Amino acid sequence: MDDTIWRLLLIAAVLAAAAVVALLFRRRPVHPPLDIAGTDLGPGLVVFTSTECQRCKVVLAAAKSVNAPLREVTYELEPGLQVKVGVTGVPLTIVVDDSGAIVAQFAGLVSAGRLRRAVAGTR
């Protein structure tokens, strides 16, 4: 084969390997645990949002498709509550069981399927 073809194949192989590594080591955002003691949050889904956050709208739509009680806590409307429980970034979604304990917490985007599974684990 021509030397140019070998070089193109090598470049393609390196790019494919880099793509695989990027997918394998993709990290989900992490948020410190919240303290919801003394609040009226839950049971069900609680989504912490901000009015200008586009990802918040996506997460809220996913949460609305889950058959569970839903509470949206918007920063612009309830900043004190977000600060009190320790929210440092949005969107942040928590699943609260009937006893008021957080059983799942998702920072950033989360699918409706993951939310359904988390809610199902509380029943």
pLDDT reported for residue 30: 79
Find all residues with CB under 8 Å of 111, minimum gap 6, and list them.
Answer: 62
Residues 47, 76, 85, 56: is their CA dihedral positive or negative? positive
Could you tell me the two tokens for 8? 């193109």
- Packed helices 54-64 and 112-120: angle between N→C axes, nearest 10 degrees: 50
Stated pTM of the model: 0.77
For the chain, give every domain's residue range.
44-120
User: pLDDT tens track of the chain, all 123 residues?
Assistant: 578 888 888 899 898 888 887 777 666 677 889 999 999 897 999 999 999 999 999 999 999 999 999 999 999 999 999 999 999 999 999 999 999 999 999 999 999 999 999 999 876
CATH number of 44-120: 3.40.30.10
